[in-house]
Structure 1
Amino acid sequence: MSILRGLVADTRPLRNDHFRRLWIANIVTVIGAQLTIVAVPAQIYAMTGSSAWVGLTGLFGLVPLVVFGLWGGALADVFDRRTILVITTWGLIITSGLFWLQAAVGGIDGFGVWFLLGLFSVQQAFFAVNQPTRSAILPALLPAGLIPSAASLNMTVMSAGAIAGPLVGGALIPLLGYSWLYALDTVTLFATLWAVWGLPALAIEGAAAKVPGLRSVVEGFAYLRHHPVLLMSFVVDLVAMVFGMPRALFPEIAHLDFGGNEEGGMVFALLFAAIPAGAVLGGVLSGWVSRVERQGLAVIICILVWGVAMTGFGVAVFFSELDRPTMLAVALLCLAVGGAADMASAAFRTSMLLNAADDNVRGRLQGVFIVIVAGGPRVADVAHGSAAALVGTAVAAAGGGVLVIIGTVIAALVVPSFVRYRITRPAAA
């Protein structure tokens, strides 16, 4: 029993009332959010029949993520963080409602693909301000020793929703269409609004008195320049996501390589759900993360596992014509292994950022974090979509995994202090 207790997730952060409300609300909200994440590329692919067009969602999501992620992090270092969360949650509710409107009123032919991409950009702008603020409040709610466990719990919920969302969404798209998925996302966001409304005032220690601008963002980057371990935590994740995230290829792979429905269906849903399924399993068995002292080395190992898994996924796609059911199973297993590795990597990197940074720069560092975590895959969407048009989906996916391995090894050799980075294991609370 003691071994089992050491493996399963550490639930001590849930004893905090505010964290528990946010966590419970996420259980509902993240499922709806994932329905939209599935519906947007599926709707664009149905409009165009092209992975390159699906890949453009990466570009239209990346620009607002970069601009508003960095500026939003600066805002979170000046203004009350609860107020920011309330405003941006309303923004997400309104944009999700507009997704429903364009699907319900116009259907696929009533609105052009450019309208859908533009609306996606606006939604990502609100997301980019919301997420750095949401992460930056954790040290105000929890002691430092519980941050890795809280990060694992958050990722587990997000990943569980990312399983349920694609499975439900992929199955329902052919039956109900896109409008119902967008409507569910809109409704579930009210759970998050309830949770953030109940937070206490979250003023910032040492906050500047003026509205932040470009200089404030630059100061955040300057802070990183003098903390190479924190800087490298961003670099290695960027390598992993840009080169190794093949999700823009899922619609085409599901349809052409594994014989799925052109407009969604179960194969499409399984591909989207496999990475978060692995992350959920990794989160359930994440009791060990708070005991790891050599966090830098742990991040490197996790990203190398991710690279190997994505290479294996591409190989399985390449040989899909030999035995579709078997190769689909192998592909899903590789994606799941990658998801578990990514969950652990994110827990360690979040702990590094929140525990090592001063409170009056946490928002800006989380802004950079969300740009990397959410923006990196969007760069990958563009890169993989373009590469697939040239060399095919299998080569694009496998080649990306190989580049992850090479890039991570180079990063570890160039900055050995990151590999040597360790923390003192906190005493049990």
Structure 2
Amino acid sequence: MSTTQEEPTPLDEQDRTGKGRLRRMAPDTRPLALPTFRRVFLGQGASSIGTMLTRVAVSVQIYSLSHSSLYVGLAGICGFAPLVVFGLYGGAVADRVDRRVLYLWSSLATWAVTLLLLVQTMLGVGSAALILVLVAIQGGGFAVSSSTRGAIIPGIVPAPLIPAANTLNYAAGTLGDVLGPLLAGILVALPHGFGLAYGADALLFLASLHSTFRLPALKPAAPAATSAVRSIAQGLRFIGGNPVLLMSFGVDIAAMVLAMPEALFPQVADTRFHGGVGPLYSAVAIGSVLAALLGGWIGRVRRQGVVLTCAVLGWALAIAFAGWSPTLWGAVVLLAVAGAADLVSAVIRQTLLQTYAADGMRGRLQGVHTVVVSGGPRLGDLRAGAMAAATTMSLAWSGSALLCAVLVAVAASCVRPFWQYDAAAAEGPPAP
């Protein structure tokens, strides 16, 4: 028997083989070996399903009460003001206190509002105005918890694994975005369906509360010494003085405000496709999950500005074509393509943000990130609903998405530091 061992294949030769390419494309699961991150990952996955249950149930319930996409859009704007205030303030507070405690209390506030949505449904109140008020309150709790969660990840995951952790987190969230709307589409069609959806959300959210309770103490390495208001101002100045960060936020705002058609889904499902609201809400997330399963390459991206721009352009163009689709499944496929582009954009943007500044600035930057990422779709809901009411569905959906593509392409080409940014060669400026 020969004892000669086969020489290992060099890495570059492995990458040229089919197996090597698949290995590079597969998601990096090393962060799941960390017990703390694993609990957060599982908790977020479960709570994401519940969050989408409530999100779809709220939209469909408001539409069933008002028969207007404008009212559905108002649900987005009602959550926007609390999101801005509490997102920025929560991010500043996260740079001053134990992030675990802040995350736990803000999560409990969000859970309590879900219980109130359940109660108003079971009592048969039938008030769209009350639902809008509860959405606004929930937006405040969500803003604080989201700002804090983004600042927590670098504290529980080693720096080299942050891109992989972000990819896994987005995969968990988008898997919930797939399953949640599909389950919501089934539940809201049943007797007492809205109550079933809100109740399921309340139960699933317990997994997130458990993972948060098990977190270690997470005090900032260098707590901010100034007041919360001055801390917010410092964070905004830091972003405003760095074109890489500023453009990463700018392209996302354009994508969400101009090319987010979710407020139109109930009307389109009702008038064009005669059903299918669940698949429409799930389609973007389906694409994101598929992209995450093949997203191992995202953590190795160096030209992050270029790839981020291309991802946003892909999102906007896919959304535009989806709006012209004459069939439900054609729209679903194109929305899934948009979702794949959105996953790439989200991971790169979050990774850039978490690695660009020191720990003492992360809470404030995550606060701005929460306002942009979560507030943008709410403005997009209002924009889409108002445009559909004032013009046509095609213009509100596809025309606005094409405008987004043009604006992003022009802006990115004009901001050279962003377009030329190299993640491997560059270091973010120090926090003030």
> TM-score normalised to the size of structure 1?
0.93
Q: Is the 8 A contact 2:316 2:401 kept in 1?
A: yes
Of 79, 82, 100 in structure 2, the residue corresponding to residue 82 of structure 1 is 100
How much does 1:425 deviate?
Answer: 8.4
Measure, in 1, the Cα distance between the counterparts of 2:95 and 2:299. 27
Moved over 6 A (4+): none
What do residues 290-349 of structure 1 show as CA deviations (whole Å, max 9, x unaligned)? 111111100000001011101101121xxx3xxxxxx22221111000000000011101
The count of aligned residue pairs is 407
Asked whether the 8 Å contact 1:78–1:208 carries over to 2, the reply is yes
Counterpart pick for 1:55 among 73, 90, 96:
73
Match of 2:112 among 91, 94, 99: 94
- 2:65 and 2:128 in contact (8 A); partners too: yes
Question: Which blocks of at least 5 consecutive residues in structure 2 are unaligned?
Answer: 1-18, 427-432
1:219 is matched with which residue: 234, 238, 260?
234
**Partner in structure 2 of residue 424 of structure 1:** 424
8 A contact 2:65–2:126 mirrored in 1: no
Larger Rg: 2
Q: Distance in 2 between matches of 1:315 and 1:112?
A: 34
Partner of 2:13: none
Equivalent residue, structure 1, for 2:22: 4
CA distances 1:118-143 after superposition (whole Å, capped 9, x unpaired): 00111110000001111101111112
Aligned to 2:408: 408
- Picking from 249, 257, 265, the partner of 2:272 is 257
Which residue of 2 is the match for residue 73 of structure 1?
91
User: Which residue, out of 170, 181, 192, partners 2:185?
Assistant: 170
| Conserved? CA contact 1:276–1:339, under 8 Å | yes
Letter in 2 for 1:84: L
Amino acid at match of 2:152: I
Q: Secondary structure at the match of 1:125?
A: helix
Q: Which runs of 5+ in 1 are unaligned?
A: 261-266, 321-326
Question: What is the aligned counterpart of 2:279 among 270, 274, 298?
Answer: 270
Name the CA distance, whole Å, in 2 between partners of 1:60 and 1:393.
Answer: 22
Structure 2 partner of 1:297: 306
Task: Supply the distance in 1 between the matched residues of 2:223 and 2:292 (Cα, whole angstroms).
Answer: 34
Question: What SS is found at the alignment partner of 1:174?
Answer: coil
Q: Is residue 96–residue 185 contact of structure 1 (8 Å, CA) maintained in 2?
A: yes
User: Match of 1:105?
Assistant: 123
Q: Does 1:159 align with 2:174?
A: yes
Give the C-alpha shift of residue 214 in structure 1. 2.1
CA distance in 1 between partners of 2:149 and 2:223 (Å): 17
Aligned residue runs from structure 1 range 274-285, under 5 A: 274-285=283-294
Matched-pair contact (CA < 8 Å) for 1:145–1:290: no
Identity, in percent, stands at: 40
Q: Does 1:124 align with 2:134?
A: no
Query: Equivalent residue for 2:351?
Result: 351
Superposed counterparts of 1:235-254, under 5 Å? 235-254=250-269
Partner of 1:323: none
> Offset of 1:2 from its aligned partner?
2.1
Counterpart code for 2:317: V
Structure 2 SS opposite 1:175: coil
8 Å contact 1:18–1:141 — kept in the other structure?
Answer: yes
CA distance in 2, matches of 1:180, 1:155: 26
